[in-house]
Chain A
C-alpha cells in the first residue's frame, strides 16, 4: 500500500475540493447526466417563449439587437445569480456528514458549488452564443473585457449574498423560502425583458436602486455596439459587490461553529 505523505494545506484543500466536485456533479447533473441537458434547455426554453411572445407582439429587435440575443444577455446572468445563491445557501447542510473528516471544512463545499455553477454558466453562455452564430446571428461581444467584468461583479455579489443566506439558514431554515419569494419579482424588475432606454426617464429612479438591473444594463452595454446604457454605474455595482462579499465572509467566519453541529 502507498503511504500518505505530508501534504501542504493547499494540497489538502484542492484534494478535498476535487473530491467534493466529483460528488456534487453527480447530484447536480444527476446520475444519468440528464442535468447537463436541462442546464442548457431551461434558459433556451425561457428565452424562446419570451422571444416568441415579443415577436407576436410585433417586436423583433431592440435598438437593432435581435430579440433572442437581447433576451439571452439578460436571462443567463439572472439565472446564474438566482441559482448560485440558494446553491451556496444549501451547500453546508448537504455535506454535513462529511465534516467528520478533519480535511473537510465548511468553506470547501461552498468553493465547490461556486466552481460548478460558474463553469456551467460560462459553458451554457458560450454554447448558446455558438449555436446562434451558427444560425447566422452576429454574436461577438463588442467589449469582452467589460462583459467579463460585469459577470465577475455579479459573481462576487452572489457569493456574498449566498454566504449570508448560508448563515441565516442556521438560525432560521425558512430563509431559503424568503429568498425565493424575493427573487421571483426580481425577474421582472431587473431589466431582463427590457432595457433602460425603453423606460421613461422620470421613472428611472424606480429601477436605479437595483444592482442586478445595473449589471444587466452594463453587460448589454458591453455586448452591443448599438446600445449605450443611461443608468448602469460601475461604481455602484462594485460597491454593492464588495460590501456583500465582505459581510458574507465575516458572517461566515463568525458563525463557523454553527455549521458543524
Chain B
C-alpha cells in the first residue's frame, strides 16, 4: 500500500499558487499494475516524481512500506554531462555497490548503444536515453516492489520494446508498475487498475476500463 495523507502539491506561479493536488487522501494498492491517466500538464509526472522521492508534497505525506524505484523517464535521472557509463556507476555507488564493473556491463549489454555508452548523455537521442534509463533499473537486482515508469515506451524502437516487455514480464511476479503513458493500448496491455487525476484529486479505479472511460468522459472532446 502507498498512503496519501492529506497531500497537497502546488507550484508558485506569477498568478499565485497553482495546485496540482489538493488534500488527497488515498490508499493505493501495490499488488497490481496501475496506469496514471490525465491530459498534459495535469500533474502525472509530478505525481510519479513524488512517489519516487524525487520531489516532495507541499503539504501532507506520502508513505509506504514498499520499495519504490526512482521515476524512470526521459527528464531527469541521467546527468547530461556524464556518459551513460558514469551515470550507471553513480547509481550503483549511491546504492552501496563497491564493484560497479559488472553492472556497467549489464546495462551496456541491455542498452545496445555501442560506443555512445561512453559519450555524454546530452548527445543521445531520446530513444537512446530510454534504453539506458530502462537498462539501469533492470541491470540491478534491487527487488523493487513498485517500478515507476513515466512515458518511456513511446520513444523506443520495436527491438527495444520487445526486449523491455520481455524483461518486465519476467519481473511481473515481484515487481508491480505504476506507469504514465498516452498510449491506451500500452496501458491496457500492462495495467489492471487505473488512477485518474481529476480536479486536483486522484480517482482510483480497480478496473482499467472504467478508469479509461472516466478519463474519456472527463477530458476527451470528440467532434
Chain A residues with CB under 8 Å of chain B are 1-5, 7, 11-12, 15-16, 18-20, 22-23, 26-27, 95-104, 257, 260-261
Interface residue? B142 (CB, 8 A): yes
Interface residue? B16 (CB, 8 A): no
Residues from chain A with a CB closer than 8 A to the CB of B81 are 27
**Number of residues of chain B lying within 8 A (CB) of chain A:** 30
Per the bound structure, the CA–CA distance linking A91 and B141 in Å amounts to: 31
Residues from chain A with a CB closer than 8 A to the CB of B95 are 4, 15, 103
Residues from chain B with a CB closer than 8 A to the CB of A257 are 56, 58
Of A3, A26, A100, A103, most B-chain CB atoms within 10 Å: A100
Interface residue? B7 (CB, 8 A): no
Closest to B102 in A: A1
Residues from chain B with a CB closer than 8 A to the CB of A95 are 79
Chain B residues with CB under 8 Å of chain A are 11, 49, 52-56, 58, 70-71, 76-82, 86, 89-91, 93-97, 140-143
Residues from chain A with a CB closer than 8 A to the CB of B93 are 15-16, 18-19, 22
Picked from A1, A4, A98, the residue with its CB within 8 Å of the CB of B90 is A98
Q: Is the interface of A mostly helix, strand, loop or mixed?
A: helix
Picked from A3, A18, A99, A101, the residue with its CB within 8 Å of the CB of B91 is A101
Known: A3-B141, A100-B70, A102-B70. A15 touches B77 (CB 8 A): no
Residues from chain A with a CB closer than 8 A to the CB of B82 are 23
| Complex contact A19–B94 (CB within 8 A) | yes
Of B58, B93, B140, most A-chain CB atoms within 10 Å: B93
Closest to B73 in A: A100
B37 CB to nearest chain A CB (Å) = 23
30 A-B pairs in the complex with CB atoms less than 8 angstroms apart? A1-B140, A1-B141, A2-B141, A3-B141, A4-B96, A4-B142, A5-B96, A7-B96, A11-B96, A12-B94, A16-B93, A16-B94, A19-B93, A19-B94, A23-B82, A23-B90, A27-B81, A96-B76, A97-B76, A97-B79, A98-B90, A100-B49, A100-B76, A100-B77, A101-B70, A101-B91, A102-B54, A103-B95, A260-B55, A260-B56
